[in-house]
Amino acid sequence: MKYILYSTQAEWDESNENMNTHFALPNSETQRYAKISQVGNSKNADYGKYIFPVCDNGSFVCTNLFPANEQVDFNPSWNLPPDPE
């Protein structure tokens, strides 16, 4: 899996809608291409950006639909684990 980080929700929404259209979603098995999320770690340089998944295997491969130079690997520091209760 690769990812694209968008600065605005509108950019994320546009890519998600394009993927929904490309893959004919929703259908009887899948409601949407992706669920929106943001970088939540305020100490990360990408804090607040919208994380868009770009599938590189499986039924929804779409790496060829996005510029390779915009695709990044997962960064575990995007979101810190929740504090223990």
Question: pTM above the 0.85 mark?
Answer: yes
Q: Which domain holds residue 50?
A: 2-75
| Sequential pLDDT tens for the chain (85 residues) | 999 999 999 999 999 999 999 999 999 988 999 999 999 999 999 999 999 999 999 989 999 999 999 999 999 999 966 655 5
Report the number of distinct structural domains present in the chain.
Answer: 1
Asked whether residue 44 is domain-assigned, the answer is: yes
* Res 83: pLDDT: 58
* Res 17: pLDDT: 97
Which residues is 4 bridged to in the sheet? Answer: 52
* Res 41: pLDDT: 94
Asked whether residue 7 is domain-assigned, the answer is: yes
Asked whether residue 21 is domain-assigned, the answer is: yes
Which element (helix H / strand E) includes 53? Answer: strand 50-54
Asked whether residue 49 is domain-assigned, the answer is: yes
Nearest to 22 by CA among 49, 70, 55, 51: 55
* Res 85: pLDDT: 58
